[in-house]
A and B are shown apart, each in its own frame.
Chain A
Amino acid sequence: MTNSTTMSFGKRVKQYFQDKRGKKSAVKRYTRSTAGNITLVLFLVLGGLFSMLPLIYCVCTSLKPLDELLIFPPRFFVHRPTIGNYTILPDLMASLRVPLSRYIFNSVVISFITTFIYIYIALMAAYSISKATFKGRKTIFWIVQFALMFNTYTLAVPQYLIFSNLKLLDTYWIYILPPMASTMGVFLGKQYIEGYVPDALLEAAKIDGANQFKVFWSIVMPTIKPIWLTLLLFTFRDIWQTVPGGKIFSEELKILPQVVTQITAGGVARSGSAMAVTCIMMIPPILVFLVSQSSVAESMSSAGIKE
C-alpha cells in the first residue's frame, strides 16, 4: 500500500483493487513445459466430455421421438430430433389446479431471496469467527465444523417438531429458514477469509475509522468475491432442487420440483417429456453457474493479496 497516511479511506480501497487488476498483464509462467501443457489439454478434454455425459444424455433423450426411446439396441444420441416432448408440456400442465406460473414464481422468488440472505448471514458469521478476538470463537468454529458431519437423516423428526411448535408448517418459512442454519457456507467462508484476507488490510481500514460493518462490506466482501460467487452457486442449486418433504400441504405454496414429479409419473411413453422437464429445470442453475463463474474469472484472474 502506498501513501497510507495521505489517502482517504475510499481512495485507498480503490487503489488496492487497481493494484490487483494491474497485474493481470503479467501472465507469464516460467515453470511450464510444452509437453506438459499438451498432455494436460488432452486429459482435461477427455475427462470433461466424460463428465458431460449425463447432460448430453438428458438433452438427447428429451429430443427423441417415441420410437427412438424404445429402439433396440439403445442409442445414446438422437437421430431424428423432435421438439414434440417440449411442445406437449403445456397440455400436460393444463390440468393443474394452480396455474404453472404460481409454481415458477414460488421457486424463483424463494431460491433467490433465500440465497442472498444466506450468503450475507453466513459470510458475516465467517468473518466474525475468523477475525474476531473474543473468547469462545474457536469453540464455536469446532461446533460448526462437527455439526456439518452429523447425518441429517435422523434430524428430520426433531426438525419437524420444532417447525410445528413454531407454527411454521405450511408457510414459506419452511423453505427459507432451514438453509439459514447450513454450516457449509460459514465453514467455507471462514477458511477463505482466514487464508486470504490479511489482518494488515483490516487494521489499515480501522485506523481510518471504518467500523466493523463497513470493513466487512467494503473490504472483506470484495476481497472474497470468488468465494461468495461460488457459495451463491452452491446455495442456489441446493434450494432450487430441494423439496421439503411433508411440511407443505397447500398447493399454492408448492415449488417446481414438486409439480414436476406429478407430470412425469407416466411411464415410458412420458419419459421423453420427463427428460424435457429435467432439461428445463437445469436452466436456472446453469445460468447462475455461468454468471458466477465468469465473474470469478473476470474479477480475480490476477494475483492475490500482498502484505
Chain B
Amino acid sequence: MFKNKNSDVAVMPAASKKLSKASKDKILTEHIPMIIMLAPFLIFFFVFTILPILSSIVLSFTSFDMISSPKFIGIDNYRRMIVEDATFGTTARNTLVFAIIAGPLGFLLSFVLAWFVNEFEPKTRAVLSFMFYAPSLVGNAYFIWKVAFAGDSYGYINSLLLSIGVITEPIQYLKTESYLMPIIIVVQLWQSMGVSFLSNISGLQNVSRDMYEAGAIDGIRNRWQELRYITLPAMQPMLLFSAVMQIQASFSASTLMIELAGYPSKGYAVDTIVSLMTDMATVRYELGYACAMSVVLFIMMVAARLLVGKILKMFEK
C-alpha cells in the first residue's frame, strides 16, 4: 500500500505523512464511491418524500382549505384533535386496537408460514408461496369478502347458513357493530401475506445449511430448538424489516375498512385515524387538520417501532 521511498528520513514525520495519505486514500477509494452510489436515491428521496413530509408538518400548524393560502394558527389543530374532537378519540382507539391485534398476529403468521413453506423443495416452495401470495397478486382482493359477507341472502355466507338452516333470515354482518372489528382483523390477516411473507422467505434462503448441520451435531433435536437457537437469530434483519412493514400496514389501514364497512361505519366501530384523515382532506377540505392527524399517527408509529426494536433485541443470540 505505502511507498517507502524515504525510509531514511526521520521516523515521526514520515509516519504522520503516511497516515494522512492513508486517510486520503480511504476518502478517495471508499467514501467517495459510496457517496456516489447513495446519491441518486437520496436526491429522489429528498425531493419526493422528505420535502412533502416537511411541508405536511408545517401545514399541520395552519388552517388550509386548498383554495385560499394556508393561515398560521399555532397548535390549534392539535388542541382541537385532543380536546374537542370526540371522533378523533374514537378513531385513535380503533386504530390502536386494530394495530395491537392485527400487527403482531400478521407478523407471526407471515414468519411462521414462510418458515413452514421453506421446509419444502424449491418447486413445491414456489407453488406454496404462490398460493399464499395470491391475495396480493389479485389487487383489491378484499372484494371477495364484500360478496361473502353481503347482508342480503345473495351473500355467500348468508345463503350457505340459510340453506343448512342455521339462521332463518340474513344477518347484516357489515352493519353490526360487534361483528365488524373481528371480520376486519381476519381479512387483514388473510391479505397481509404480501411483502413480509416473501421477504421472510428470501431471508430464510440465506440461513446457512451448515449452521443447521452444525446445530444437529451440537445436540439440537427438534425443529423448535432449531428455530430458537439458529433460525431466529439468523433471521434478525428480515424480522425487523417485516415488523416495520406490519407497523406501517396496521397503523395506516383504512381502505379495507372503508370498502367493507363504509365510512362512517356502523357505530364508528372500525373507523381509523386514516379513514377520518381521508374524510377531512377529501370531503371537508381541512388539509391543515388532516396533516396534524398524520403527524400524531406518525408519532404513534415511531413509538411502536422503538418498542418493537427493544422486543426483537431480546431474541438476538
Contact = CB atoms under 8 A, between A and B. Distances in A.
A145 B37 contact: no
A227 B205 CA distance: 10
Given A132-B34, A196-B206, A155 B237 contact: no
B131 A51 contact: yes
Contacts of A181: 41, 44-45, 47-49
A216 interface: yes
A72 B134 CA distance: 28
B33 interface: yes
A282 B139 CA distance: 8
Interface string A185-220: 011100110111000000000000001110010000
Interface in A13-69: 23, 26-27, 29-33, 36-37, 40, 43-44, 47-55, 57-58
B143 interface: yes
A100 interface: no
Given A286-B137, A289-B137, A51 B190 contact: yes
Given A140-B38, A151-B252, A305-B206, A31 B212 contact: yes
A101 to B, nearest CB: 23
B10 to A, nearest CB: 31
B278 to A, nearest CB: 6
A306 interface: yes
A194 B131 contact: no
A129 B38 contact: yes
Interface string B138-166: 11010110010000011110010011000
A161 B250 CA distance: 29
A180 interface: yes
Given A36-B223, A132-B34, A23 B53 contact: no
Interface stretch (B71-79, B174-182, B239-247, B259-267): B239-247
Contact of A44 (B45, B117, B236, B302): B117
Contact of B298 (A37, A150, A298): A150
A258 interface: no
Given A125-B37, A134-B31, A285-B137, A44 B128 contact: yes
Contacts of A211: 29, 33
B31 A154 contact: no
B248 A148 contact: yes
A29 B203 CA distance: 19
Interface in B35-94: 35, 37-38, 40-42, 44-45, 47-53, 55-56, 59, 66
A32 B50 contact: no
B279 to A, nearest CB: 11
Contacts of A281: 139
A121 B40 CA distance: 7
Contacts of A304: 205-211, 234
A37 B305 CA distance: 35
B17 interface: no
A154 B216 contact: no
B223 A76 contact: no
Contacts of B162: 73
A293 B154 contact: no
B270 interface: no
B45 A144 contact: yes
A272 interface: no
Interface string A282-307: 10011001100110111011111110
A31 B132 contact: no
B258 to A, nearest CB: 12
Interface residues of A, number: 102
Contacts of A159: 48, 52
B108 interface: no
B238 interface: yes
Contact of A192 (B126, B141, B238, B248): B238
A184 interface: yes
B222 interface: yes
Contacts of A37: 119
A244 interface: no
A186 B38 CA distance: 10
A180 B241 CA distance: 19
Nearest to B193: A51
Contacts of B31: 132-134
B193 to A, nearest CB: 7
Nearest to A125: B41
Contact of B116 (A44, A76, A140, A145): A44
A116 interface: no
Nearest to A197: B206
Contact of B209 (A36, A127, A286, A303): A303
Interface in A147-185: 147-151, 153-155, 157-159, 162, 177-178, 180-181, 183-184
Ordered nearest first, which 7 A-B pairs have the shortest CB separation? A297-B122, A48-B131, A195-B237, A304-B208, A212-B33, A125-B41, A226-B202
Given A131-B34, A154-B281, 19 more contacts: A54-B143, A73-B162, A121-B40, A125-B37, A133-B26, A158-B55, A162-B52, A181-B41, A195-B203, A195-B236, A195-B238, A212-B37, A226-B202, A234-B198, A281-B139, A286-B137, A290-B126, A297-B125, A304-B211
